[in-house]
Amino acid sequence: MFIVSPSVLASDFSQLGAEIKRVEKAGASYVHLDIMDGHFVPNISFGAPVVASARKKTSIIFDVHLMITNPKRYVDDFLRAGADIITFHYESDDEPSDVIQYIKSKEARVGMAIKPATPAEAVYPFLEALDMVLVMTVEPGFGGQKIIPETIEKVRAIRTYANERGIKIDVQVDGGINNDNLKLATEAGANVIVAGSAVFNAPRAKDVIDKMKKTAELYPFGSGLEERFEKGKVRRI
C-alpha cells in the first residue's frame, strides 16, 4: 500500500492538533514526527510531551523518526506518548539489533533509517526483523532541503534485495520529496513517502496528496504489511 506521511516539521506548531487534522482530512495515512536532539543532528525539534499532546487530538498513525543519540533509552517515552512506528538511525551509537528487538518487544512497529552516506548494504542483515527501512534523501536535520538524487539508487537496491528474498517491507523516503521528483522514488520501490514542505506549504494539501497517490498507482509496491496498520488495530503500550 502507498502511504503519504506528512512531516509536521513544516507545519504551524502553534496549531499542531489542527494541522494534523488538516492533512488527515486531505488523505494522509500517517503523520511523520521528526525528533531531533541537537546532538545526532545539528537541530532541535520537539520531544515526547509534544507527541503526547498531539495524540489527544487524533488517532492517525504516528510515524516517529528519531534523529537522536541513544534511541533505545527513549523508546518507552515515545511509545507512552502514542507513537505507532518508531524509526531510529543505523548510525546512532546503539547496537541496531538491540534497538530493533527492544521496540518489537513492546509490540510497536520498527523502522531503521540510513543517512545519505550510509550504503544500502548496511540494512540487509536487519531487513527480516524490520517493518520499514527509511532511506534519507537529504542529510537529516532540516526540512525544506533539496533531494539528493543519488540516494534513490539505494531505494532500488533495498527493494530488489528484499523482493529477491521474498521479504515484505515498507521502504520510506524522507527529505525534499515533491510531485516533481516523487516518480523517481516510487519507480525505484519506495511505498511510504514523507513530505513536509510539499504538503504543509501547499495552498491545498489534498491536491498534493491526490497527485502523489496518482503517481504511486503507476508503481504499486505493496508491502503486504498494510493490514497491520489498519486503524484501530494498532497496538500501543
| 8 A C-beta contact, residue 194 and residue 177 | yes
| 8 A C-beta contact, residue 111 and residue 84 | no
Cβ closest to Zn ion, residue 84 vs residue 174: 174
DSSP characters over 131-181: SEEEEESS-TT-SSPPP-GGGHHHHHHHHHHHHHTT---EEEEESS--TTT
Cβ closest to Zn ion, residue 36 vs residue 230: 36
Residue 124 belongs to what H/E stretch? none
The count of residues interacting with ligand DX5 (CB under 6 A) is: 22
DSSP state of 6: E
Contacts of 207 by beta carbon, 8 Å cutoff, 6+ apart: none
Q: Does 143 bind ligand DX5 (CB under 6 A)?
A: yes
Cβ closest to ligand DX5, residue 105 vs residue 175: 175
Active-site positions read 34, 174
Residues 181, 174: Cα–Cα separation, whole Å: 12
| 8 A C-beta contact, residue 29 and residue 53 | no
What three-state secondary structure class fits 82?
coil
Q: How far is the CB of 65 from Zn ion (least distance, A)?
A: 4
Q: How far is the CB of 6 from Zn ion (least distance, A)?
A: 11
Contacts of 236 by beta carbon, 8 Å cutoff, 6+ apart: 79, 82, 83, 84, 108
> Which residue is nearest to ligand DX5, using beta carbons?
196
Residue 120 interacting partner from ligand DX5, Zn ion, none (CB closer than 5 to 8 Å by kind):
none
Q: Does 71 bind ligand DX5 (CB under 6 A)?
A: no
Q: Does 89 bind ligand DX5 (CB under 6 A)?
A: no
Would you give the distance in Å from CA 208 to the centre of its chain? 18
Q: Which of 14-22, 85-93, 174-182, 209-217 is the region at the interface with ligand DX5 (rule: CB under 6 A)?
A: 174-182
Q: Which of 7-15, 54-62, 90-98, 164-172 is the region at the interface with ligand DX5 (rule: CB under 6 A)?
A: 7-15
Question: What does the block give as the cell for 132?
Answer: 520499514
Q: Which of 83-91, 119-127, 133-141, 180-188 is the region at the interface with ligand DX5 (rule: CB under 6 A)?
A: 133-141
Binding mask 11-40 for ligand DX5 (x = CB under 6 A): ---------------------x-x------
> For binding to Zn ion (CB under 5 A), which residues are involved?
34, 65, 174
Q: Which of residues 193-232 bind ligand DX5 (CB under 6 A)?
A: 194-198
Q: Enumerate binding residues for ligand DX5 (CB under 6 A).
A: 7, 9-10, 32, 34, 65, 138, 140-145, 174-177, 194-198
